[in-house]
Structure formats: structure tokens, C-alpha cells
Structure 1
């Protein structure tokens, strides 16, 4: 043999280089924040291409053909499908292949002048990214299959996966022991609060990766020669399994246990090994359960019924199935996040980036070809299960990958490179050529040809990352910045159309364009309505689109229709808009009717917010209409009660009594009915009768804080101050939060004030403001300080209150501070001018004034 071609028994240094690159991927991807950031795709493609090139060169130097397992075909087919979904199609062909994509083009893009050919993908940049990822996985798998032809290399790669999982678990344990809730004490997860702090922000993804690594560790332990060599793998398995439990991922824990049990069943012929697997599983459950027993119990209590599981994971499956039916050729790989809002039937708080079901993911994004692709992968996996001569490590790989695949029915871990690369490298260790075929030089592919193809695919993947760099978040942030800074409308429109051309299914871009046109005034209101209409086409429950439409209609003078849009925005999940903007703009009863939510469960909150708006005449008219409309609903009682309260404020006592009687008729046993009745009697001058009503409730509502507060308030008003404090003392143990305790101190302070004990009242009000800081409470403390001639302390209290007020409301308070400071200066100057002991005597006299006044009423209650 020529010296240029080393013996096949020796491993080429190029193959060792490919192994090193694969190890870097196995370690680096999980540490790169779980491979969630977009920038990970660049290194992934480069390293995957480098590993493939090195593996091909190593095979050529060893005069070996390259083996491509059956599982490589689904990976290649997936990349091909991504490429086909990116081919621009003429409108006629697009309408035949994807009526939904053609409808989106005609309704959303053509009116904006974007009438060129369109691909099947409804979010081309996302599909470009997926093309790059699929090619990277294919290159990684091909390289790993070649590297794993060496038994030592195969074991080293699997060991890298096993110890990487253990290291991540240790990292999480260290963070837990140190009490750190940020990664390395520096990096904070913005949209996640993982129970175990690791580079994985999502606990489900952490559990999936650790479950695979822990199962592989167990297989390596059983395949080790000698107990000493098995110990590190046993420890890695224990650490990884403990990390799964501490992640509190219900699906991750369940499928990890399933994977270990499946591994045990695959080894059932060897009872000693089977027992060791079960022993290791019991050890993991014992250690993890001991460390996280309380958290696990709380987490499992949230999934104690099929109904709760349906609400948490399964409720979207019918909607996802409808998406798959509407797109037989798929909506575009990676385009789910932008397209799915069009098919949602109810408002949601969080955006669904993935279906959290691997089968439905492929069915929606690839359509029928995706299901065929899945069938091909399952068939290839089944072929691996049928192979003969597999060892414990290989069976562990198959069990771990199988459990990970089942976990994908409720998660999307394989959509991130960390778990996907780990799974494909692990499968490559099983899909390698049979060891006995080495000497026979099994038929395969020429390394030079595979090398050329690998280089070409790496180039394609790198090129795909360029258009794939644009994401929904970046596009929305860029356009949002232009709208927020009120950039010229022409500039906003030009940039917005370019971004809409890239992401045609993103409703948020339409919202931002509509908002920009609304901000331009009445002349652009009609165009803003058009953008809002397109946004609602893309997302029928888009609250922002209704917000834009409401503002545009107001500009056009269509007020009733505008308030109808405000109501739809509220029902789509934007209550803040209703309270901060819509209610303040309503001028007539008709507009309030249009604004009122259709469901009775929101009407009481609406009425309370309307009361805070301050227009009592309109409120009473609206209440009369709302009571009639919602008369059969339980919420009608609260509407009657609100009317009674409003009538009391207006001193319309006859109407208040009538409303109170209606409340008592509808809810005779409710505490609120009795409290309202007592307030009406007190307003009518029947304080003793009101007091009797509240005192009679004691046996029926023992320890009720609301009743006790109402009773104490009435007792203070009637001058029964000591009895008021006794009433408060009785419910003191039942006051459960700072807000209620602040109310208790305020009532206590009011009772002392009624007696003239201002120093004691001051202490109570100080306690109240510590419990619930607020401008009005600080000002109350300031008035008491001022009444006790403590001007400096009063000024400090006013300043504290001013800090809690908006800038525009601080003028009067600042004048108060100036007056208090002037009074303090005058007092100090008067002291300095005094002679002998007269200054000290004057100071003592001023300080004693409050105490002397307090002593005046210590002998008895105020009348």
C-alpha cells in the first residue's frame, strides 16, 4: 500500500478532526443558551460542513467508500421540500397548489402593489432558515456515520453527549445551591423563569436533552469493561436524571422514565443488566424526588385530570388539524408562527411559535409530504431496531431517541439544534455499517463525490442564512421604531412594504402600518382602515387591529362604529385600551352602549370603570339600560348595588333606598346587601338602626373583615370610637394582606382623630402609609404633623407624597412644602431671637401642644 494511503486499521487524522468537530457541536450547542438564539445557525452550518468535509477526506485517504443509511433520505428529502417551498410560482399555479397562499397574496399583497410571483411558503425567511438547518443536520449525520465506523470514536462521541448532559445538570445544581436566578449570575431569561437555571431557558427542552444524555450514559455504563470504568457513566446518568426531575417538566419526566423502562425491556434477556437499569432508575427517582419533592408535588397537582391536560396541551390540536387540512402542501417550513394566528378562534396572551406536537408540526408546515417524511423516518428507525448484534449502548440510544420522539408529541425540543444534533449523532452510532463488513469494503458512495456534494450543500446552507436572517421580531421592532419616532410617512410606508413582502402573513406589520397612517391624521384614516382590515384577515382576534380601526373611525367622524371597534378590541384581549382611552372619549349613551361588552361577566368591571370616569348622569342612564339588558344575569345585582351607591353620593335617598331594596330582594343572604342597607339607613339619619343591622351580622359572618371594617367606620361616624377599635381588634388576626392592614390602621387613626388624640392618630396613619404607600396617605400624615406644629416632618411627608404623583399634579403640593418650610424657618428665627430660657420654654410649649390637646378627651368617648 502506498504511503499516501494509511492502513485501514489506523484512523485518519482527518476523521479524528471530524470527530472533534462533532464533539464541539455536541458540547457547544447546549451551552449556547440551548441553541435558541438565531446566531447559532451560522456556526452550526460551518461546523457541520467542516465535519462532513473532514470525514470525506478521511474516508478517501483510508480508501473507504461512504455509507449513507436509510435515515439520511428523510433528512435530504426535508431539505428538498424546503427548497421547493421557496420557488416563486405564478398566480395561476399558486392558486392550484395552495389556494390559501393565493388568497393571502390577492387580499394582502396585491392591494399594496406586491403582485409578483409568490412561493408556497408564507414566511420565506423562516423557510430559508429551516433549509439551512436541514442541510446542517444532513451533513452532521453523514459525518457522524463515517466517524462512528470506529468503535473508539463511537464511544467517545456518545461519552461526550453523556458528560455534556451531566455537566449541564451540575451547572443547574450549582445555581440552585447558590440561589442564583440568572445564568452565571449575569444572563437573565426575559420570557422564562426555569425552575433549574441552566443554558436552557425552557424546562421542557432541558428535560428532553438530559433525558437522552442520561439514557445514553446508562447504556455506556452497562457496556463498559469493568466496574471502575462504569462508575463515571453511572454518575452521569444519575446527574442527568436528577436534572430531568428538577426541571419539573411533566412530559420530560414521564418520557425519561418511559425511555429507561424501554431500555430495560430491550435488555430483558440479560437479567443482571435489566436489574441494574431499574436500580439506576430508582436511584434517580429517589435523589431527584428528595431534592424537588415539594416542587414536584405542586407541579403534578396541576395535571391531575384529563381535562387539565386537554386545556394545557391538547386544546389547540383541532385548530392545528384545520390548518393542515387547509394547506395540503404545507404553509412553509418554519412559517407556523406567522400563519397560525389566522386560524385561532379565541384571544391568546402568548404567541405560539410551534404547535408543540411534532406530527402536527410536519403536517402543517410540510403538508402531506411531511407526513410521508415522518413515515420514512419511522421506517428507518424501525430498521435500526431490527438490526442484530446491538450492544447495550446502541439499545440505550434507540430507547433514548424513541422517548425523545414521543416527547415531541407534547413539545418541540427537536426544533432546536441542541437536541436535534444530539439525536442524529446518537442515531449515527447505530446506523453505521456493520463492524463485520469493514474488511469486505461494503459498497457505498465515492468519498470524492460525497465531498463535492457536501461542499455544495454547505455553500447552499450558508447562502440560505442570508435571507433567513430576517425574523418576525426584528421586522416588527424595526418598523415599530419608525412608527414610534414618528418618521415621515413615506419612509415608514416604503420600509413597511419591504418588510411585508418578506413576511406577508405577519399581522403585526399591518397593525404598525395602520398606526402610522392613523398618526398622520384624517387624510390617511381610510388607508389605516385598509391596513386594519388586512390585519384582521391575518388574525381575526387581533386587538391591535381593532384599536387602529377605532382611532381611524373617530378621525372620520364614525363615532358609534369606532366604539364598536373599541369593544371588539376589549373582547380580543386589550382591556387597558377600554379603560385608558375608550371610556374617556364616549360622549353619549349610544356610544356607551356600543362600547359595552356583550358578556355579562365583564359588565360589572365596565360599570366600575365608568364610575371612576366621573360622569354620574351618564352612568345612571347607562345603568338603567344595562340592568334591563342583563336582568337575567347574576351580575345584575351588582349593577343595582352600584346605582344605590351613586344615588347615595348624590344624596338621592329615596332612589337609593329603592335600589337597596331591589338588591336585598335579589340577593337576600349576601353580606353586600346588608352592608348597603346599613349605609342607606345611616344616610337617612337612622344611625342606630344601621348599627343594629351590622352588629346582628356578627354571628352569621364571624371574623369577616369587610363587615368589621364597615361596622368600625359607622361606629367612628357615630362617635363610638372605642367600640370601633374593639371591632377592629376582633378581626385583626384575620387581616391577611398589607392592603387590608392599611385600611385597619386608617380606621384606627380616624377613631383617634375623632377623639382629638392627634399624636396617636399620627402613629396609626404612619403605619398605614408603610403598609400601602400612596400620595393621599402621605398628605394625611403631613396634615397631622402640621396640626402638631411639626412643620419639618410635615414637609418631609409632603415630599414623599409628591414622589408618587405625576409631574403635572405636583404644583399645589410644592406650594404646601414652601409654606411649611417658611413656618419652620419662622419658628427657628423666633427661638433665636428669644432670650434666656424663654426660647426653650416656647419650643417645649409648641411640642407639648398636641399632647395637651390629646389629654383633653382621655376621660371618655366623644359624644
Structure 2
């Protein structure tokens, strides 16, 4: 019997020029997004490796990477039509802040200087050999130090604003958060092993890769609540236990670093997180937080509580020493109230005001917020704090309207870590450590953008 053979059908899919153009655009966007992420991941990993990037070489690498990030984003803005620039509503305040600091560098006639900062004029008269009444002098007593602070700080704000504009998908947020969490875990484990198992040649004040245990603690105070937020986000019990354990290790490393201010700050962060979760009505989250706190206590007790107890017994002496610095800096603020003594100039003038007996040289006030007021003046400091308060207000306002578990848990974790860092900076100079300052502004940019972003839970987003 004859059977007819059917010819195979060939389906030809044609695409329009516009579709091909859109496909190419998506491919290029993906490549650019990968490049931006790669730079940010590099900065997270590299910044704390060499004593928190305090030395010129690693600091230059961070500055170069941040400028490369800014340049790449600028090129994308030019090449991609219709690109929108995202910036917080309080950006105006930070513009005013930097405008006043630029004003500090402008040479002014002595007539104006006498009106707006008579103490600055008095310093020039007393200590400048070639001072003349007809001369022009800046508000900052040492211009080089102010320019150096600009060069160190501007890249951090570049990273903040560029991150707001380039990180969009949930997968990108997820990868960046995980990079911070796992790298913080690695630094914590390295610090504990180095201090307690390989103590030979260990510097007494250092911990992990940081030259000072307090700066290590400040870094981990931001990372630990973030790890806890990620743990609360997980639905699978194994992952929840894993990230809860990671958060507990990071918290325990803060105590084991023997940083008293760090220990108080991590306690402050976890208490704040407990109340925020309570406000959100997350009973499960609060139970996990309490369990993590118990685990931290067990880890600390297992490692030995003796050194920690010894450090806290000396707390009164440490607070008295810091109080002496704060007390002697008050006349400095009183003499330079409006425009300060010059950004980055505290170390060059504090010896004139120091009354307590000490052979130490004080480059920092050990209170970042007060030092900012002393160096930049009340006006610039007001604009800076207004910018920060504006950012946190927006984040809290957005958090009230969100139901996405990823957004709520990561933003709450980020907020608690950052506020813990702000609390810690009342007792130290963490914002003068490039790695710590970078992580602060980077996490702030991530949670600010995350609080606004409504994710599409599709395969391409992960």
C-alpha cells in the first residue's frame, strides 16, 4: 500500500530591525551591569585588606576604581538615550556641604575674615611671619589637608550616587549583599585565628587585616545585622541556620576583638533590630534574633571571657581619656563656630587647646561627629547631618509601604548596621578609615535603592 511522505515543515522566524536593536541593547546593558558589579565587588574585597586602606597605595587604588566607575556610568548616560539620573531628595544638602568646604579654600581679604572668623585671622597674625593686612587668606589654616580630605571623601560619594543608578535587579542586590556577608565572615575568621591561635608577632592593637581592633569592630557592626537580615529572609531551614550561624560568628568576632565600643555598638544594633522586627510584627524574626544572640554568647564563652572582662574593667579609664579630648575640643569649636578650622585640620591645632597631660599626639578627636563640627563649622556640619537624616527618613518611609520579604529584611538589617556604626563613631574615628567609610556609604546606597525598587521575580533577575 502506498504511503505518502509529508515534507518536513521549516519555520522561519524573522525579527524586525527594532527587535534586533532591542536585543543588542539588552546584551550591552547586561555587559555593562556585570562590569559595574565587578568593580563594586572588587572594592568590597580590596578595601579592608591593607589595614583598611589607610596607606597611600591601596587608597589610590580605591580612588582610581571609583573614578573608573563614575566615568563608565557617565559614558553610559551619554550613549543610552533617555537615561534617568536617580538622586535622593536631600542631595541639595550635600551639595551645600561641599560648597562651604570649597569656600574654606578661597583666599579672602582680612576685612571679611575678621567678620566671619576672627579666630582664624588671629592665628594668621600670630603665627604667619609674612602676614599683611592687605593680604588674602583662606578659612582653612592648612589648605593641603583640606584638599586631601576632599580627595579622600569625594570618591565615596561618587560610589554612593553611581550605585543608586546602576544597581537595579534583585540578582545584583543579592550578589552584592552576599559578597559583603561572606567577605566579613572571612575577615572575622582570619582575625580570630590570627589573634587566638597564631599570636606570634601579633600587634596588640590590630585585629584581622585592620591596624586597629576598633576599626575592625566598626566594619563588622555594619555587616552582622546584614547577615542576620539575610538569614531571616531564607525559607529553607538549612540556609536560615547557615546564615544565622554566619551572623553569630561575625558578632562574636566583635567581642573577641576586645573592642569595647564595638561590643556596645553591636548590642545597640541587635536591640534596634529586635524592636524594628517587633514593629513589623515579625515574631519569627525576633525568635531567630534571640537565638543568634544566645549563640554569640556561647561562642564568646567558649573562646574565653577573661580578656573581655578585663577590657571592660578598664572602661572608666578609657571614657575619662576620651572625655578629656572632647572637653578640650569645646573651646576650639567655640573659637571657630561658623566655618570651622578647616577640613582635616584638627590634628594641626588641637595641641593649642589640649590641657590634660599626655605625651600622645592626637590626629583625631575620637568622636567623628564632633570632629566634623570642629573642622567644617556648624553650618557645613548641619548640611551634612541633614543629608544623612533625609536619607534615613526616606528609607523608613518606604519601608512602611513595602511587603517584599527581601526588601524588608535586608533594609532593616542594613539600617541597624549603619546606625550601629553611627553610634560607634561617637567613640572613635571610623569615618577616617577608607574601608569602613566605603562600606558605610555602599550599604547606605544599596538599602536606599532597595527600599524604592519593586522587583520582578523572574529568571533574568537572579
Number of equivalenced pairs:
426
The answer on 1:39 being equivalent to 2:51 is: no
- For 1:716-731, what aligned pairs fall within 5 Å after superposition? none
2:453 matched residue in structure 1 = 435
2:302 matched residue in structure 1 = 290
1:107, distance to aligned residue in structure 2 (A): 1.5
Q: Which of structures 1 and 2 has the larger relative contact order (alpha carbons within 8 angstroms, sep 6+)?
A: 2
1:241 matched residue in structure 2 = 251
TM-score (norm 2): 0.85
**CA-to-partner distance for each residue in 1:530-580, whole Å, 9 max, x for gaps?**
xxxxxxxxxxxxxxxxxxxxxxxxxxxxxxxxxxxxxxxxxxxxxxxxxxx
2:13 matched residue in structure 1 = none
1:11, distance to aligned residue in structure 2 (A): 4.8
Does the CA-based 8 Å contact 1:207-1:244 persist in structure 2?
A: yes
What SS is found at the alignment partner of 2:193? helix
The answer on 1:267 being equivalent to 2:277 is: yes
Tell me, in whole angstroms, the C-alpha distance in 2 between the residues paired with 1:181 and 1:147. 45
1:121, distance to aligned residue in structure 2 (A): 1.0
What SS is found at the alignment partner of 2:352? helix
Does the CA-based 8 Å contact 1:13-1:58 persist in structure 2?
A: no
1:395 matched residue in structure 2 = 412
1:153, distance to aligned residue in structure 2 (A): 0.9
2:226 matched residue in structure 1 = 216
Tell me, in whole angstroms, the C-alpha distance in 2 between the residues paired with 1:57 and 1:182. 48
Tell me, in whole angstroms, the C-alpha distance in 2 between the residues paired with 1:53 and 1:154. 22
Q: 1:349 aligns with which of 353, 359, 381?
A: 359
1:326 matched residue in structure 2 = 335
TM-score (norm 1): 0.47
Q: 1:413 aligns with which of 430, 449, 452?
A: 430
**CA-to-partner distance for each residue in 1:567-622, whole Å, 9 max, x for gaps?**
xxxxxxxxxxxxxxxxxxxxxxxxxxxxxxxxxxxxxxxxxxxxxxxxxxxxxxxx
Tell me, in whole angstroms, the C-alpha distance in 2 between the residues paired with 1:214 and 1:394. 13
1:715 matched residue in structure 2 = none
Tell me, in whole angstroms, the C-alpha distance in 2 between the residues paired with 1:61 and 1:182. 54
What SS is found at the alignment partner of 2:108? coil
Tell me, in whole angstroms, the C-alpha distance in 2 between the residues paired with 1:53 and 1:225. 40
Q: 2:393 aligns with which of 356, 370, 382?
A: 382
Classify 1:61/1:176 alpha carbon distance in 2 versus 1 (closer, same or farther; 3 Å). same
Classify 1:309/1:210 alpha carbon distance in 2 versus 1 (closer, same or farther; 3 Å). same
Tell me, in whole angstroms, the C-alpha distance in 1 between the residues paired with 2:442 and 2:207. 26
Q: 1:314 aligns with which of 311, 323, 337?
A: 323
The answer on 1:250 being equivalent to 2:260 is: yes
The answer on 1:23 being equivalent to 2:23 is: no
Does the CA-based 8 Å contact 2:170-2:455 persist in structure 1?
A: no
Tell me, in whole angstroms, the C-alpha distance in 2 between the residues paired with 1:327 and 1:2. 63
2:138 matched residue in structure 1 = 119
Tell me, in whole angstroms, the C-alpha distance in 2 between the residues paired with 1:395 and 1:178. 35
Tell me, in whole angstroms, the C-alpha distance in 2 between the residues paired with 1:140 and 1:36. 18
What SS is found at the alignment partner of 2:305? helix
Does the CA-based 8 Å contact 2:368-2:430 persist in structure 1?
A: no
Classify 1:254/1:330 alpha carbon distance in 2 versus 1 (closer, same or farther; 3 Å). same
The answer on 1:204 being equivalent to 2:222 is: no
Classify 1:207/1:380 alpha carbon distance in 2 versus 1 (closer, same or farther; 3 Å). same
1:423 matched residue in structure 2 = 440
- For 1:497-508, what aligned pairs fall within 5 Å after superposition? none
Does the CA-based 8 Å contact 1:67-1:432 persist in structure 2?
A: no
Q: Which runs of 5+ in 1 are unaligned?
A: 184-188, 439-863
11-20 vs 415-424, which moves further: 11-20
- For 1:831-842, what aligned pairs fall within 5 Å after superposition? none
1:73, distance to aligned residue in structure 2 (A): 4.4
Classify 1:64/1:220 alpha carbon distance in 2 versus 1 (closer, same or farther; 3 Å). farther
- For 1:631-650, what aligned pairs fall within 5 Å after superposition? none
Does the CA-based 8 Å contact 2:97-2:381 persist in structure 1?
A: no
**CA-to-partner distance for each residue in 1:352-390, whole Å, 9 max, x for gaps?**
111111321121011112331213312321221221314
Tell me, in whole angstroms, the C-alpha distance in 1 between the residues paired with 2:50 and 2:199. 19
The answer on 1:104 being equivalent to 2:123 is: yes
Tell me, in whole angstroms, the C-alpha distance in 2 between the residues paired with 1:383 and 1:71. 9
Does the CA-based 8 Å contact 2:231-2:243 persist in structure 1?
A: yes
2:159 matched residue in structure 1 = 140
**CA-to-partner distance for each residue in 1:401-441, whole Å, 9 max, x for gaps?**
01110111111112211111111111111221722499xxx
Classify 1:176/1:204 alpha carbon distance in 2 versus 1 (closer, same or farther; 3 Å). closer
Tell me, in whole angstroms, the C-alpha distance in 2 between the residues paired with 1:41 and 1:86. 23
Does the CA-based 8 Å contact 2:225-2:270 persist in structure 1?
A: yes
Tell me, in whole angstroms, the C-alpha distance in 2 between the residues paired with 1:200 and 1:145. 28
1:234, distance to aligned residue in structure 2 (A): 2.7
Classify 1:174/1:346 alpha carbon distance in 2 versus 1 (closer, same or farther; 3 Å). closer
**CA-to-partner distance for each residue in 1:642-680, whole Å, 9 max, x for gaps?**
xxxxxxxxxxxxxxxxxxxxxxxxxxxxxxxxxxxxxxx
1:395, distance to aligned residue in structure 2 (A): 0.5
The answer on 1:279 being equivalent to 2:291 is: yes
Tell me, in whole angstroms, the C-alpha distance in 1 between the residues paired with 2:292 and 2:254. 14
Tell me, in whole angstroms, the C-alpha distance in 1 between the residues paired with 2:446 and 2:300. 30
Does the CA-based 8 Å contact 1:14-1:57 persist in structure 2?
A: no
Tell me, in whole angstroms, the C-alpha distance in 2 between the residues paired with 1:73 and 1:230. 41
1:29, distance to aligned residue in structure 2 (A): 1.0
Does the CA-based 8 Å contact 1:357-1:409 persist in structure 2?
A: yes
- For 1:536-555, what aligned pairs fall within 5 Å after superposition? none
1:21, distance to aligned residue in structure 2 (A): 0.9
1:75, distance to aligned residue in structure 2 (A): 4.2
1:346, distance to aligned residue in structure 2 (A): 3.0
Does the CA-based 8 Å contact 1:4-1:61 persist in structure 2?
A: no
Tell me, in whole angstroms, the C-alpha distance in 1 between the residues paired with 2:375 and 2:185. 34
Tell me, in whole angstroms, the C-alpha distance in 1 between the residues paired with 2:84 and 2:131. 55
1:53 matched residue in structure 2 = 71
Q: Which runs of 5+ in 2 are unaligned?
A: 1-17, 457-462
What SS is found at the alignment partner of 1:121? coil
Classify 1:38/1:289 alpha carbon distance in 2 versus 1 (closer, same or farther; 3 Å). farther
Larger radius of gyration: 1
**CA-to-partner distance for each residue in 1:53-91, whole Å, 9 max, x for gaps?**
333445654854121124544544443333221112222
1:4, distance to aligned residue in structure 2 (A): 5.0
The answer on 1:91 being equivalent to 2:91 is: no
Classify 1:383/1:51 alpha carbon distance in 2 versus 1 (closer, same or farther; 3 Å). same
1:229, distance to aligned residue in structure 2 (A): 3.7
2:380 matched residue in structure 1 = 370
Classify 1:78/1:35 alpha carbon distance in 2 versus 1 (closer, same or farther; 3 Å). farther
Does the CA-based 8 Å contact 1:79-1:135 persist in structure 2?
A: no
Tell me, in whole angstroms, the C-alpha distance in 2 between the residues paired with 1:26 and 1:114. 50
Does the CA-based 8 Å contact 2:96-2:380 persist in structure 1?
A: no
